[in-house]
Amino acid sequence: MKSSNPFALWRWEKMFGEWQMFGEGFLRTIEVAALALILALVLGIIFGVISTSNNKVMRGIARVYVEFFQNTPLVIQVFFMYNGLAIAGLRLSVFMIGVLGVGIYHGAYVSEVVKTGITSISVGQVEAAKSQGFTYIQYMRYIILPQTIKIILPPLTNQAVNLIKNTSVLAMISGFDLMYMADSWASSSLDYGPSYVFAGFLYFMLCFPLATWARKYEERLKRQDTARIPFEPSEEAVTC
Amino acid sequence: MKKVLSALLILCLVFTLAACSSSTGSKDTATTDGSLDSVIKAGVLRVGVKEDVPNFGLRNTATGEIEGFEIDIVKLLAKEILGDENAYELTPVTAKTRGPLLDNGEVDLIIATFTITDERKLTYNFSTPYYEDAVGLLVKKDAGFKGLADMNGKVIGVAQSATSKEAVNKVATEKGITVSFSEYATYPEIKAALDSGRVDAFCVDGSILGGYVDDSTMILPDRFSPQQYGVTSKLDSLALTEAVDGYINEWLKDGTIEGLITKWGLNY
């Protein structure tokens, strides 16, 4: 039983005997990531659309949001929400901070992705829609946004994967997520080897299927396109 | 599905290989146990110490040097082993980094308020304890707590890797109350959480706590389960461990350590 090898077999056995701890953290990470992803998508679509509008004030607001959250570290944002807001009297639960902090942070990135997606659709489409009497909301909803999905799906998946991994910032503010549990187990039992390898494996299990699914989905959309369009567009042109 | 499986297999293989290589690595050092000789050969004693614990190991912002009770022990050891009290190299550690730093050979010893437990003895060697301390609680004055008994349902901030969590839990169960815990990587983070009201008490070894008392906070009279600090070394560095243990025992007998404890105001 006595061994200085951080990967010794008995350390693994000891850790899997306490698997509930990791299960709890894993569940917390999934919950936070799922809600934060929804928030990031909602914010991203709203601000992405706003930043392509003709209204200068609206564009300004979107710009400030994106620049502020993209150019300050997530760690500081979360630490501020945890301690700063608490001193000011607003005590959010760590779960809420996880959802809001990570969601708002990634919303800024999603917004940029959505914006580039919209601007990549040719102006002719908007003009055609307008000539048919579509309002701004209508042509965004029915003409532009559906077309952008294919373009933005790969970078969007990157964001989703990053978002999942970034929920590990909760470990810093005692957020009881997977990373926190791994830290806690690693430092209390000194079995940091199995603990971090296993946590890494669980994060991989979350991110890898998502990335794979998005790749498959994108390929399917592309196939549907090539079926409809008589001219064969080259593969590379569509892949970002 | 096949692809996923093969990817997983490769992953498992990588981890197994990593495990194997690290185990052969430690075997090599075990057969040559030149732990003491290699320190002498290097001419410098590399020690992991705390830099955020007042009186034990705290970085003096004016000079940039780390100072404290544990640094003085490092100096004494460097003098005994290498004949020069300045032949040491300090690496700041946290509860989380000290184990890995010792394992990968970055440091020869850890002297960083490392509490000795039976479980930990399976992983590292510990010297005879050079300091004994009990866990204490730091609370806000205006919270009105008189002791742990008043803290039913409250949140207690503890340091990762610290034994204080179990210590408090045990006493809380005896008193018939339940408390929950939030773990943080460093002590200043726990203090920040106490200031912002995220935790109701900052719980750590009493002597460490002493450095964090300010106008708005106070230490409760409750003290739990004495913790013993030992000089920590790798399980296979037997020669070094024995040498260090010999010196510590000597200094415990001749009052050198007692003198240092008084010097740093650590005798409560």
Model confidence over B199-229: pLDDT tens digits?
Answer: 999 998 887 888 888 889 999 888 888 889 9
Minimum distance, in Å, between the CA of residue A217 and any CA atom of chain B: 16
Pair of tokens at residue A183? 């830290």
- Can you name the residues that pair with B90 across neighbouring β-strands? B47
- CB of B229 closer than 8 Å to CB of B114: yes
Half-sphere exposure of B45 (CA within 13 A, CB side): 28
Q: Which of A151, A192, A171 is nearest to A79 (CA)?
A: A171
Q: What are phi and psi of B232, to 5 degrees?
A: -105, 140
Q: Is the pLDDT of residue A231 over 80?
A: no
* The pLDDT value given to residue A236: 52
Residue B100: its chain A contacts at CB < 8 A?
6, 192
* The pLDDT value given to residue B26: 40
Instruction: Answer with the residue of higher pLDDT: A227 or B190.
Output: B190
Q: Is the pLDDT of residue A72 over 90?
A: yes
A68 falls in which pLDDT band (50, 70, 90)?
very high
Q: Stretch B226-240: mean pLDDT, rounded?
A: 90
Q: Stretch A153-173: mean pLDDT, rounded?
A: 92
3-state SS track over chain A: CCCCCCCCHHHHHHHHHCHHHHHHHHHHHHHHHHHHHHHHHHHHHHHHHHCCCCCHHHHHHHHHHHHHHHCCCHHHHHHHHHHHHHHCCCCCCHHHHHHHHHHHHHHHHHHHHHHHHHHCCCHHHHHHHHHCCCCHHHHHHHHHHHHHHHHHHHHHHHHHHHHHHHHHHHHHHCCCCHHHHHHHHHHHHCCHHHHHHHHHHHHHHHHHHHHHHHHHHHHHHHHHHHHHCCCCCCHHHHCC
Residue B120: its chain A contacts at CB < 8 A?
190
Three-class secondary structure of residue B60 per DSSP: coil
| pLDDT tens-digit readout, B135-146 | 889 999 988 888
Cross-chain residue pair B96–A204, CB shorter than 8 Å: no
* The pLDDT value given to residue A114: 93
Select from B24, B116, B123 the residue whose CB has the most chain A CBs within 10 Å, as the one to mutate to test that interface.
B123
Q: Is the pLDDT of residue A107 over 90?
A: yes
Nearest by CB: B18 against A4, A7, A189: A7
The interaxial angle of helices A19-50 and A178-189, nearest 10 deg, is 150
B16 CB-near residues (< 8 Å, 6+ apart): none
- Can you name the residues that pair with B92 across neighbouring β-strands? B49
Half-sphere exposure of A135 (CA within 13 A, CB side): 2
| pLDDT tens-digit readout, B120-170 | 888 899 999 999 988 889 999 988 888 888 889 999 999 887 778 888 888
Q: Is the pLDDT of residue B234 over 50?
A: yes
| A&B contacts, CB < 8 Å | 91
* The pLDDT value given to residue B21: 44
Q: Stretch B30-58: mean pLDDT, rounded?
A: 83
The CA-CA-CA angle for residues B133, B138, B141, to 5°, reads: 145
Pair of tokens at residue A92? 């959010």
B24 falls in which pLDDT band (50, 70, 90)?
very low
| Listed ranges A11-25, A92-106, B170-184; the one with the highest mean pLDDT | A92-106
Radius of gyration in angstroms for the set of CA atoms belonging to chain B, rounded to a whole number:
21
- What percentage of chain A exceeds 70 in pLDDT? 92
Pair of tokens at residue B23? 């185990």
Residue B188: its chain A contacts at CB < 8 A?
none
Cross-chain residue pair B100–A6, CB shorter than 8 Å: yes
Instruction: Answer with the residue of higher pLDDT: B74 or A186.
Output: B74
DSSP element (H, E) containing B174? helix B164-175
B44 CB-near residues (< 8 Å, 6+ apart): B78, B82, B87, B88, B89
pTM, 2 dp: 0.77
Q: Is the pLDDT of residue B32 over 50?
A: no
Say which residue the tokens 């006493």 belong to.
Answer: B171
Nearest CA in chain A to B14: A197
Q: Stretch A81-103: mean pLDDT, rounded?
A: 92
Residue A4: its chain B contacts at CB < 8 A?
26, 103, 123-124, 234-236
| Lowest-confidence region among A223-237, B126-140, B157-171, B239-253 | A223-237
Q: CA separation (Å) from A16 to A177, A194, B130, B135?
A: 17, 9, 35, 30
- CB of B179 closer than 8 Å to CB of B152: yes
Q: Report CA dihedral (A55, A59, A61, A63) to the nearest 10 degrees.
A: -170
Distance, in Å, from the CA atom of B100 to the CA atom of B111, rounded to the nearest integer, reads 14
